[in-house]
Amino acid sequence: MGLTPRALSDDEAAELYDVLNTWGDFPADRFYDGLVESAQDVLDVGCGTGGMLHHARERGHRGRLVGLDPDRAALARARRCTDVEWWEGTAAALRSEAEFDLVTMTGHAFQCLTTDEDLRCSLSAIRRALRPGGRFAFETRHPQAKAWEDWTPANQVTVSRPRPLRLWHEVESVVGDVITFTETSADPEGAVLRVDRAALRFLGPEELDAFVAAAGFAVEERFGDWERGPLTEQSREIVTIASAVRQPQGRAAQAAPGPKP
């Protein structure tokens, strides 16, 4: 009788993320690199394993770099770079006042804010963290492209690190603008080692801009691709750079933020 395959640990899942998302391999990475290079103090919300900030230090960035993420295993890998500050927590719980020139959310992390309340609280906290005139850069998948239709077992990938694996996604539900799906990790023979469930929100430009404006931002630049092309009916991305122009309004602005990570 063969041995039961060992489940994929959180630490291995964090390493797998690095394997699949090596910073510098994608057009989006070059887009954000330019923004980070031109800013003195940078906060990366949803930093994951810290690839963008690691790369910035390697390229000689001399300002303050801070990464924020709730995933402890991912932060453990991020902390291999010791001249960056690493905070454990979420955007909504961020307690920071006018400390940064640039806040980023890369890798479609913005789409993890799936409820109106989480969006309002997170955007308000990000706005407070920025100095007047500071910028918030992020992207979301454009709902018109229906990216989730490609999330099927037929589009699985294979990797050799942290061990030989097969990976695939499956959509569980589509409720309004929120897509719930699973990511399955299996060994080469197909034995399932780990199943992670996640939900992402697909906001169109008008709905997105309403939340951004309510939080005290003005859209400074808007692109439909990573080459800074215009947003069109064929765009797969909504890439936004917003400026902090006023204090956020309403209930979310008055909410007491959680402890600083």
Q: What is the residue-wise DSSP string for 196-243?
A: EEEEEE---HHHHHHHHHHTTEEEEEEESSTT-PPP-TT-SEEEEEEE
Residues 132 and 149 in one domain: no
CB atoms within 10 A of CB 184: 18
- pLDDT value for 3: 64
Structure tokens at 212: 């951004």
Q: Which of 160, 177, 201 is the last residue of a domain?
A: 201
Residues 51 and 170 in one domain: no
- pLDDT value for 246: 78
181 occurs within a structural domain: yes
Count of all residues that appear for the chain in the document: 261
Residues 140 and 116 in one domain: yes
- pLDDT value for 248: 63
Judge contact between 56 and 42, C-beta under 8 A.
yes
Helix, strand, coil in percent for the chain, rounding step 5: 30, 30, 40
5 occurs within a structural domain: no
Residues 187 and 94 in one domain: no
Residues 169 and 58 in one domain: no
7 occurs within a structural domain: no
CB atoms within 10 A of CB 174: 14
Residue 191: exposure state from Cβ atoms within 10 A (0-12, 13-18, ≥19) = exposed
Residues 157 and 29 in one domain: no
Residues 156 and 140 in one domain: no
Q: Which of 201, 216, 244 is the last residue of a domain?
A: 201
CB atoms within 10 A of CB 151: 16
User: Which amino acid, one-letter code, is at 182?
Assistant: T
Residues 34 and 116 in one domain: yes
- Domain residues for 21? 12-144+203-253
1 occurs within a structural domain: no
17 occurs within a structural domain: yes
Q: Supply φ then ψ for residue 105, to 5 degrees.
A: -135, 105
58 occurs within a structural domain: yes
Q: Which of 137, 57, 127 is nearest to 99 (CA)?
A: 127
Residues 160 and 72 in one domain: no
Q: Which of 160, 181, 201 is the last residue of a domain?
A: 201
Q: Which residues of the chain have pLDDT under 50?
A: 1, 250-261
Radius of gyration for the alpha carbons in the chain, expressed in angstroms and rounded: 19
- pLDDT value for 154: 97
Residues 54 and 180 in one domain: no
Long-range contacts of 112-116 (CB under 8 A, 24+ apart): 112/46, 112/198, 112/199, 112/200, 112/201, 113/201, 114/178, 114/199, 114/200, 114/201, 116/211
Query: What CATH number is attached to the domain comprising 40?
Result: 3.40.50.150
Count of domains forming the chain: 2
Residues 122 and 212 in one domain: yes
Residues 151 and 123 in one domain: no
Q: How many helices (H) and strands (E) does the chain have?
A: 7, 11
209 occurs within a structural domain: yes
Judge contact between 235 and 143, C-beta under 8 A.
no
Sheet with 178-186: strands ordered across: 157-159, 165-175, 178-186, 192-201
Structure tokens at 107: 């890798």
